[in-house]
Structure 1
Amino acid sequence: MDVYLVPIASDRFEAYYEAADDDEAVEPADGLGFFGRLRVRFQSQLNEAEQARHQATPEEPRTFLGRMQTRSLKWIAERIAEQRLLWKLRTVEVATLHVASDMNPEAAEGLMRAAMKRDADRHLRLLALHSVGLVLAAPVAFVPGPNVLGYLFTFTVVGHFLSWRGARRGVSQVRWTVAASTPLTDLRRAFALAPADRHRVILDVTHRLHLPRLARFVERMTAATA
């Protein structure tokens, strides 16, 4: 598994993992109990969100609830991309952390571990909060049709649970190897450039690392921290 400590400013970094669209986020449900049904529903949502993301011209739903569910699918697709890294860490034993070649390897690994510790704490808090919401929405959570509340809470509860587990493993169980990356060094230095020049460097780094979604991630994270 390859993880990239991506610069989003000259002195700020975010861990990044780019998964294939068919990368399994969850294993099959083990039973038909409540949590098993929740996981089946969750996997169905993942598949539906991925299909919606690849539709060139999705058909606009005619009903209000249908439109709300379409927006929910878009939101879920964005959250899937954000949480793939932590979900994947649940299933790996070793991983490579690619960092800018001008960074101290131990310091870079420390940054990554500290960020994952914060992620674990945050997802645990959100899991508790959203579990309450799911309990309140439980009477309609598994009703067929465009049930927006049940749809969202099913995704967030299972998603936060898997992210919490992945972040914990990333901190304490996964064996990390740090590798220097010249493209990430170029990306880090690009934040001293004018916006147009920086954008060209971001696209170039995306091409060199063979990570087609990296440019969008960097631009979005840069805008969020501006």
Structure 2
Amino acid sequence: MHKFFVNRNDINDNAAIINGDDVKHIYKVLRLQVGDKVNINNCGGEEFLGEIEEINKKQVIVKFIKKLPLNNESNVEVYLFQGLPKSAKMDLIVQKTTELGVKEVTPIVTERVVVKNELGEFKKIDRWCRIALEACKQSKRSLVPKINTPIEFQSLLEVLKQMDLIVVPYENAEGYGIKKVVNNIDKDSIKKIGIIIGPEGGFEESEIEALEKLGAHIVTLGPRILRTETAGFVCMSLLMYELGDLGGLKP
């Protein structure tokens, strides 16, 4: 069953109006016709089974049949705070963490970030949002993650106070990994997880000290040094396996 994400402004109690690039995709690529069934997601976690009522080159109207109970979101919320990387690495980070189930992605500016001059290019946020949306379609998620504008490190410290668990992979950490973190916490109390990933140059020791004061778990991901675009995937996958739904729902 094909799924389409539709802005809430284009949805009422009985139907959805599909606009934009999806219209051409529906009639020219998928070759869907009036009467075909599709799933509609309102970009807020609600999904509906619908039937195509009208197709033209500008829009597709889908009449709702029923609301669906399906929800593919994890039982824990993962918030990724990613040190801004160079080039298009953030595209990959947004895409893959969306597939894994991330709730929000926030680029952060740390001492060793080398792309500070690009912070004014907020068109990148629009691109990352489009990438997240496409990844949601591919992975059949029920909720599109929020992609935030970049924040400074001091602002990050304030945001992290809302997290139940803070995990920071660090190349100089030894002997304390995800397994020990999970064994030392009350799993049932963890609903919001903050993962903080440094940029290509890593963290300054003063930044690690500030995170430790907040109660962050400074962990190793193993004996091999991972790239900034890899570390987030690995850390999130391990935590989602232990606390979320990767590998099957926990009893």
The TM-score, its normalising length taken from structure 2, stands at: 0.27
Question: Looking at CA atoms only, which structure, 1 or 2, has the larger radius of gyration?
Answer: 2
Instruction: Give TM-score scaled by structure 1 length.
Output: 0.29
More strand by share: 2
- Greater helix percent: which structure? 1
- Which is bigger in relative contact order (C-alpha 8 A, separation at least 6)? 1
